[in-house]
Chain A
Amino acid sequence: MKTWMNWLPTIIIFAPLLGLFILLFTPKKKQNLIRVIGIVATLPSLALLLYLFQHFDLGQKDWQWVQNIPWFQFTFAGERGWAFFYHLGVDGISMPLLFMTALISTLTAIASVKIQSRIREYYMLLLLMETSMLGVFFSLNLFLFFIFFEVILVAMYFLIGIWGQIQKERAANLFLLYNGLGSGFLLFAMVLLLMMCNTLEFPDISKMIPLAAKAEPTFTWVIFWSLLIAFAIKLPIFPFHTWMLRVHVQAAPSVVMIHAGILLKIGAYGLLRFHVGWFPEQMKQVSILLITFGLINLFYGAILAFVQKELRQVLAYSSISHMGILLVGIASMQLIGLQGALFQAISHGFIAALFFFLVAILYERTNTTELNELGGLTKSMPYFAGFLLFTGLASLGLPGLSGFISEFLSFLGLFRQHVILGSIASLGLIFAAVYILRAMMKINYGPTPKRFDQLSDLRWTESLPIAVFVAVIIGIGIAPDLIGKSMQMTLQMMLERIGG
């Protein structure tokens, strides 16, 4: 492989930063130029990731596109020392997530043209977000991972706090409070891991944990739980979900696209990478407990979504419910379930992002997202209403769309692990239909209020990104192996470690 190929992951991660620097020197007044730069700056990463995806070796078990450079080290007296590496690479878990991140970032940048104030700062933060999210999925070193993880936190804090609705500051603080707590646990776990394994390299840690677990069982469990809390907050798992409700409602819709679309998936990624990857034995032992929490998420979110009076609240609780499905998929510790969970991460990423793309449009036209004030939009905005219904159907798991594949696989995995819990989880399909249809039909159906008679339907700048979303959602739905095959090898390898 040529040398520049080694640098490909690095180039992908930091390409958006180039845009950020150009924006630094762009005059504030040139708003349209800023928007164009902001959008264009997300494209190189997307294009290169497509290239990467195309050349991804399906049969390979090991990491691909690896770049490993010694970074810095602390040497102690004696021969022991801690070396830190700038270590990047992809495997079957990160590949689809990276692709999703890049695509949603581009679409978010397009959706962000609706932002009217402090545009330059907004796009700079957005590009910083993209870099750090890509970095999180590319990192093969826990320290590197942690740095990117923290940058996300900071950038998101400002994105929520500056461009949100009336209560944006509270939402931002709550976000920081919870996620700061999560970071604390992550940091704690990192330090303990460093002490236990003397390294933060992913490939090394996964080999050392089974040995270390035998020598230091309590120690291992402490690391396991603190990592679990860190990612339970991110996902979020009940009862750590309060912060994300606020963010869904108070942040600008385009920021929520990133938040619901990608950030929640970092929780899923953490569970897959660290818990399934490093602690499969321990995961097996807490499987039933985690499944129970997944079911609580699933039904708690669904029932609460059913009684909300505001669209973004419905979607927030719907996200909780969908993350419950993801959690039961992971907790089943069956290959099919893990596949389902990863599918769910990607599918929900696109569906949630599309939902908030539509929310942005809806709010711009009607100035409300209260369900009781809306109605009959099929008449004045038929294309919008059609796409909204489409997204709703994708979200309730209609076959032929991406949500079905992920739910089906997650439940199938769970069913193999536990028949009765699997059957109970399947009842979630009914609840999803109930709350989604209620919300969608309140908006689309019924008589059209007078003041909504003359709304303008989608412009092409809006329909084009929607078309991309729709294509991806249908694409995954009818040809799931497009992304399914890439995850197969990695997940299989992880599970082979159990009992090995």
Chain B
Amino acid sequence: MRWITLTILLLPLLSFLLLIGGRKWRSRGLVAGIGVLTSYGAFHLSSYLLMNMIQKKTQVVISMPWLTLSDQVVHLGIKIGALQAVMLVLVSLVSCLVQIYSWGYMRDDERFPVFFAYLGLFTFSMLGLVSSANLLQIYIFWELVGLCSFLLIGYWYYKPEARDAAKKAFIVTRIGDVGFFIAILMIFWKIGSFELDAVSKAVSTGTISGVWVTWIAILILIGAIGKSGQFPLHTWLPDAMEGPTPVSALIHAATMVTAGIYLVAATFPVFLASSYALDIVSYIGGFTAIFAACIALVQTDIKRVLAYSTVSQLGYMMLALGSKGYVEGIFHLVTHGFFKALLFLAAGAVIVSLHHEQDLRKMGGLWKKNRGLAIWFLIGCFALVGLPPFSGFFSKDEILQTVYMDGRIGLFVLALITVFLTAFYVFRLYHLIFAGTSRTEQKNTPVPKVMMVPIAILGLLSTLAGFVQFPKAYFSSFLLQGSKLASLTSEAAPAWIGWVAVLFSLFGVGLATLLYWRGYQPAKPRVGLIGWAHRILEQKFYIDQLYHYVFALPLKGLGYFLIGWDRFVVGGLVRLVGLVPVGLSRIASMLQNGQTQTYALVSLIGFILLVIGVTVGRFFS
């Protein structure tokens, strides 16, 4: 089992090393083949591992010493429990599908091997992240997935927008990372270890308690907020859509952005020990869910709508975790991974068939031109909206139940309203793309077959994945095997919640259809309250502008002030000191008369003679 686990990690790394070495390779088949086969290998072995764990209920543990720190030795380690096994399968599967898709999507790209190399590095780092046994190692891979995200957002380096988005993504997530970093320092300071097991043990035995647990939980949460695009560090995720669409599907929808959720889940005992921390997690999640859904209502870029939708859905997962819904959060993470990857890949197909047009206002009428794509896209929409029997229905329903049972009724109401908003923006999106008639003159390009295969597979998964929890909760019992978290599962929630949620979504779907089924209507000048609200939403609540004026500009101003300070105040000090040895200027003149080497030699020889003289003098004394 240990070798299998190591192979899972090393296969994508191998792909990265091969392809970054072979960045000049011309054969696209070879390049894509290496990428797809290695990630498929990782997927195959991960599924084997998962199956094995389901049957035998074992864990895989590997550990080796890495760094000696005064009296402790820090280990690198792998520990695969139920949660980790599920994540391994999800990550390697989506990675494999996205690489198949990229074969078609990126076919005209000049740096084709580099793209696959980056995807390999990402897959390696993400698999490493979810199999790490200690927090320091999680942090290491956490930064590496961030790096890959940065590299891939900025993949089209010549576009200034891509450059700025990449930089923003790195810096904004790094703000969160520092929170996580401090949490790690604090944990080591308190318990002298980075191991996840040691952390949960320390919490349960009360070694860390009271205010420190809350601090640690909040700091970890800050890291999770950065990575998972939660308010107030969400601003990078929509901009990240400047990267190629396969990247958006893999990194910015299905896997990397869920790392924050994973982190909270992996350190769940710390959160359970602090009710303050749970409160904060819930409120941030619930607020982000409705906040991002509102912005998604008016966006006009196909990928940005999906990006805000991702932010909103990640908010749901946070909300679930904050309401002690460990399984529910993870369950939604998995189903969301499938249907959001599907939606992004299908959106990519739409973009390709429309000559890289991403503006919803210029789309329309695709239902008639590409029926297959329209149906897969529709499946993704149903799953995201949460209509039965698609997977999103089951996972979202469970989240609503958990929130209700946990007793924060205000958040429950917000979550229900978000269900309606989600349904509305999703079907607005759908109708703008597929309904009515085409709003451009250009003819559609056919979508390469190789891109449709992953879409179909994800479509099937989005449809069926819900049945791991229905009619019997197989998924819960697997995730909770041998875990103390089992006791958390509450008694059954009232059945009406599911029905009401479906009603809300149908209402949203209906309203969107009513407004948009004929396609896009050129906007009437909006006035009054509606116009005002519309403008605020279009400007994403002015958060970017706010950060610009509150953080970026003052920093720059301080910088320019310090330039003057450094030059005139600190530099002035120099001139004062410089007045003392006036003779120095004479030495300086030597440099200018071209005879320097002579002087250098003379002074050196003199110096050496002096030292030799003293040395030899010893023999005569």
Contact = CB atoms under 8 A, between A and B. Distances in A.
A303 B562 contact: yes
Interface in B136-160: 136, 139-141, 143-144, 147, 154, 157-158, 160
A419 B189 contact: yes
Given A70-B618, A426-B185, A441 B597 contact: no
A441 B163 contact: yes
Interface string A437-471: 11001001111100000000000000000000000
Interface in B107-159: 136, 139-141, 143-144, 147, 154, 157-158
Interface in B32-57: none
Given A169-B592, A405-B67, A481-B68, A430 B559 contact: no
A43 interface: no
Nearest to B70: A335
A488 B581 CA distance: 44
A248 B162 CA distance: 32
B602 to A, nearest CB: 12
Contact of A242 (B574, B600, B614): B574
A169 B157 contact: no
Contacts of A242: 566, 570-571, 573-574
10 contacts: A73-B621, A173-B588, A177-B577, A177-B578, A304-B559, A306-B556, A412-B189, A426-B182, A433-B174, A434-B171
B457 interface: no
A162 B591 CA distance: 7
B556 A307 contact: yes
B185 A429 contact: no
A259 B618 CA distance: 36
Interface string A164-179: 0000110011101110
B336 to A, nearest CB: 28
Contacts of B69: 336, 339, 409, 412
Contacts of B143: 398-400, 404
A365 interface: no
Contacts, number: 180
- 4 interchain residue pairs of minimum CB distance: A307-B559, A399-B140, A445-B163, A335-B70
Contacts of A481: 65-68
A15 B482 CA distance: 65
A327 interface: no
Interface of B: 23, 65-70, 136, 139-141, 143-144, 147, 154, 157-158, 160, 162-163, 166-167, 170-171, 174-175, 177-178, 181-182, 185-186, 188-189, 555-556, 558-560, 562-563, 566, 570-571, 573-574, 577-578, 581, 584-585, 587-588, 591-592, 596-597, 600, 603-604, 607, 611, 614-615, 617-618, 621
A303 B559 contact: yes
Contact of A154 (B144, B603, B615): B603
Contacts of B588: 161, 169, 172-173
B550 to A, nearest CB: 15
A399 B406 CA distance: 39
Contacts of A207: none
Contacts of B563: 304, 307
Contacts of A300: 562
Nearest to A338: B70
Given A242-B574, A433-B171, A434-B171, A411 B157 contact: no
A162 B596 contact: yes
A423 B215 CA distance: 12
A427 B144 contact: no
Given A147-B611, A379-B158, A306 B559 contact: yes
A243 B578 CA distance: 12
Contact of A72 (B178, B577, B615): B615
A136 to B, nearest CB: 15
Contacts of B70: 334-336, 339, 492
B181 A429 contact: yes
A422 B182 CA distance: 8
Interface string A80-123: 00000000000000000000000000000000000000100100
A415 interface: yes
A388 interface: no
Given A412-B185, A446-B163, A71 B615 contact: yes
A181 interface: yes
A430 B171 contact: yes
B171 A376 contact: no
A177 B581 contact: yes
B68 A488 contact: yes
A443 to B, nearest CB: 11
Contacts of B170: 433, 437
A400 B140 contact: yes
Contacts of A339: 69-70
Interface in A289-308: 300, 303-304, 306-307
B160 A72 contact: no
Contacts of A78: none
Given A121-B597, A427-B178, 16 more contacts: A71-B614, A72-B614, A128-B604, A242-B571, A243-B574, A303-B558, A304-B559, A334-B70, A378-B157, A378-B158, A379-B157, A399-B144, A416-B189, A419-B189, A433-B170, A433-B171
Contacts of B181: 411, 426, 429
A454 B139 CA distance: 40
A326 interface: no
Q: Chain B interface mostly helix, strand, loop or mixed?
A: helix
A341 interface: no
Nearest to A423: B182
Contacts of A335: 70
Contact of B171 (A174, A307, A416, A437): A437
B23 to A, nearest CB: 8
B595 to A, nearest CB: 11
Given A169-B592, A484-B67, A430 B178 contact: yes
Nearest to A422: B185
A309 B136 CA distance: 36
A139 B181 CA distance: 39
A228 interface: no
Contacts of B585: 173
B66 A480 contact: yes
Interface in A153-206: 154, 158, 161-162, 168-169, 172-174, 176-178, 180-181
Contacts of A415: 185-186, 188-189
A243 B136 CA distance: 38
B559 A399 contact: no
B618 A71 contact: yes
B614 A445 contact: no
A82 to B, nearest CB: 12
A382 B158 CA distance: 13
Interface in A393-429: 393, 398-400, 404-405, 408-409, 411-412, 415-416, 419, 422-423, 426-427, 429
Nearest to B141: A399
Contacts of B587: 173, 176
Contacts of A411: 181, 185
For B177, B189, B559, B581, the residue with the greatest tally of chain A CB atoms inside 10 Å of its CB is: B559
Contact of A429 (B174, B186, B615): B174
Contacts of A307: 556, 559-560, 562-563
A150 B369 CA distance: 81
A125 interface: yes
Contacts of B577: 177, 181
Contacts of A378: 157-158
Contact of A118 (B136, B147, B573, B597): B597
Contacts of A433: 170-171, 174
Nearest to B578: A177
A374 B139 CA distance: 34
Given A303-B562, A304-B562, A307-B563, A72 B171 contact: no
Contacts of A158: 591, 596, 600
A172 B591 contact: yes
A500 interface: no
B570 A176 contact: no
